[in-house]
C-alpha cells in the first residue's frame, strides 16, 4: 500500500498515512485528487479506480470514505478486506465508531492503524491480537500516568495504602474528580484498581 486516506463527504481529511516518502506539496496534491475522484463516484459503482500508475481502492462507511493507493501487483479485493478490517478494529475500540470519534481521538485511530499495518503491509491478521495490543499499550500509558499522579500527590493517596480491601476501595470511591495541572481527570473504577495494584508492588 502506498497511502491510506480517510476523508468526509465534504472532502475534509480525517486521517492520512503515507507509506512512501513524498514531499508535502505532493501529498496535498494527491489528497486533492483522491477526494475529487472518489467524491465524484456514483453510489453503486465499482470500488476500484485507476490513477496514474496506481490502483485506487475506496469504500464508504457512513460519512467517511476510506481510500488507499496500491501498486500494480497488489490484490484489490484483499485491499477491500484490509479497509474493512481496519473499520472493524476501530469499531471494537470505540464501540460503535462514528466520524466524531475519529475526529476527537485521531491519535488513537493512528495507534490502532499502527498495530494493524506497518510499512504498508498487514502486520497482524488476527483481530483479537490487534485489539489486545492496543489495549495493552493504552494500559501501559495509563499506568505510567497514574504513577506520576501518585508521585505528585502522595498525601492524597496515602489513605488507601495499607491493605484496604479491594472491593471496599471501589465501592468507596466509585468515581471522583481529581484536579491536576493538566486539567480535571475523572478517575473510574478501573484506574482505582490499577492504582491499588500499583501501590501493592
In the complex, which residues of this chain contact other proteins (CB under 8 A)? 13-16, 19, 21-23, 28, 42, 44-50, 73, 75-78, 80-82, 84-85, 103-104, 106-107, 110-111, 114, 118-119, 121-129, 133, 136-137, 140-142, 144-145, 148, 181-188, 191
Dihedral of the CA atoms 106, 6, 18, 78 (nearest 10)? 120
Number of CB atoms found within 10 A of residue 35's CB:
20
Q: Given the complex with other proteins, which of 62 and 129 has the nearer CB atom?
A: 129
Cα separation of 131 and 7, whole Å? 24
How far from 176 is each of 74, 146, 170, 197, CA to CA, in Å? 51, 14, 11, 18
Q: Given the complex with other proteins, which of 166 and 189 has the nearer CB atom?
A: 189
Q: Given the complex with other proteins, which of 63 and 123 has the nearer CB atom?
A: 123
C-alpha closest to that of 37 among 24, 49, 28: 49
Task: In angstroms, give the least distance from the CB of 166 to other proteins.
Answer: 19
Q: Given the complex with other proteins, which of 26 and 165 has the nearer CB atom?
A: 26
Amino acid at each position: 500500500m502506498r497511502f491510506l486516506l480517510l476523508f468526509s463527504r465534504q472532502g475534509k481529511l480525517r486521517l492520512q498515512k503515507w507509506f512512501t516518502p513524498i514531499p508535502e506539496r505532493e501529498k496535498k496534491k494527491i489528497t486533492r485528487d483522491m477526494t475529487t475522484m472518489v467524491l465524484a463516484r456514483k453510489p453503486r459503482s465499482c470500488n476500484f479506480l485507476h490513477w496514474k500508475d496506481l490502483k485506487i481502492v475506496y469504500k464508504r462507511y457512513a460519512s467517511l470514505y476510506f481510500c488507499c493507493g496500491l501498486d500494480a501487483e497488489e490484490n484489490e479485493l484483499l485491499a477491500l478486506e484490509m479497509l474493512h478490517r481496519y473499520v472493524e478494529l476501530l469499531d471494537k475500540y470505540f464501540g460503535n465508531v462514528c466520524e466524531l470519534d475519529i475526529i476527537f481521538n485521531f491519535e488513537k485511530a493512528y495507534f490502532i492503524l499502527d498495530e494493524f499495518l506497518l510499512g504498508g503491509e498487514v502486520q497482524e491478521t488476527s483481530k483479537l491480537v490487534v485489539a489486545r495490543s492496543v489495549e495493552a499499550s493504552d494500559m501501559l500509558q495509563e499506568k505510567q500516568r497514574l504513577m506520576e499522579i501518585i508521585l505528585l500527590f502522595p498525601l492524597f493517596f496515602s489513605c488507601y495504602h495499607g491493605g484496604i480491601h479491594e472491593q471496599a476501595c471501589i465501592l468507596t470511591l466509585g468515581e471522583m474528580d481529581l484536579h491536576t495541572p493538566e486539567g480535571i481527570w475523572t478517575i473510574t473504577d478501573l484506574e482505582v484498581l490499577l492504582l491499588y495494584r500499583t501501590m501493592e508492588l
